[in-house]
């Protein structure tokens, strides 16, 4: 079993992460079964995956291209997709629309990852189904707030 296959349930309201100075505060067992698919280049994806693990989101997968993300989403069934807008093989907007067209993924939460918070394609992103933008580098507090919002 790999670390990404674990489901973590945090009951304590102040948990120290071993090997890290980060502390998760007031997080409940509702974190899982949040399944997060990260679609970005390898370096950014690895950083985001480590950050998600520090926050208690252990059920994660990574894809470096839109095509890989679409294949992976079919099997993995993510509840959240962190999707970079600058993919090497296809438009992130097309990836978002194709995810939305799949009945089993229609309710997935799509979060755009961008290096430019003032990105000109905000309207296009909303139309494609993106819920929010996260500007890189992503902070732990912004990611935690966003992922815990509307979880019930």
In CATH, what number is assigned to the domain containing residue 18? 3.40.50.2300
**pLDDT above 60 (res 44):** yes
Does the pLDDT value for residue 91 go beyond 70? yes
> Is 90 exceeded by the pLDDT of residue 62?
yes
Give the per-residue pLDDT at 64: 96
Region of 129 please: left (phi>0), alpha (psi -120 to 50) or beta.
left
Chain segment 110-144, per-residue pLDDT in tens: 999 988 766 677 778 888 889 988 888 889 999 99
Mutual angle of helices 140-148 and 42-54, in 10-degree steps: 70
pTM for the whole structure: 0.76
How far, in Å, CA of 10 to CA of 14, rounded? Answer: 9
Calculate the average pLDDT of the chain: 79
**26-30, 32-36, 42-46, 90-94: segment of lowest average pLDDT:** 26-30
User: How many structural domains comprise the chain?
Assistant: 1
Range of the domain at 132: 3-148
Q: Which of 53, 79, 87 is nearest to 131 (CA)?
A: 79
Question: Considering the chain, what percentage of its residues have pLDDT values greater than 90?
Answer: 50
């Amino acid at each position: 079993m790999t670390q990404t296959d674990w489901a973590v349930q945090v009951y304590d309201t102040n948990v120290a992460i071993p090997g890290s100075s980060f502390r998760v505060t007031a997080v409940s067992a509702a974190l899982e079964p949040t399944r997060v698919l990260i679609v970005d280049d390898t370096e950014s994806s690895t950083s985001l995956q480590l950050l998600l693990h520090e926050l208690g989101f252990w059920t994660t997968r990574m894809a470096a291209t839109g095509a890989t993300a679409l294949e992976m989403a079919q099997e993995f069934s993510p509840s959240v997709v962190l999707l970079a807008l600058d993919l090497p093989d296809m438009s992130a907007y097309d990836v978002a629309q194709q995810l939305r067209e799949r009945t089993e993924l229609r309710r997935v939460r799509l979060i755009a990852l961008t290096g430019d918070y003032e990105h000109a394609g905000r309207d296009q992103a909303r139309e494609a189904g993106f819920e929010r933008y996260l500007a890189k580098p992503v902070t732990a507090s912004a990611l935690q707030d966003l992922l815990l919002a509307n979880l019930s």
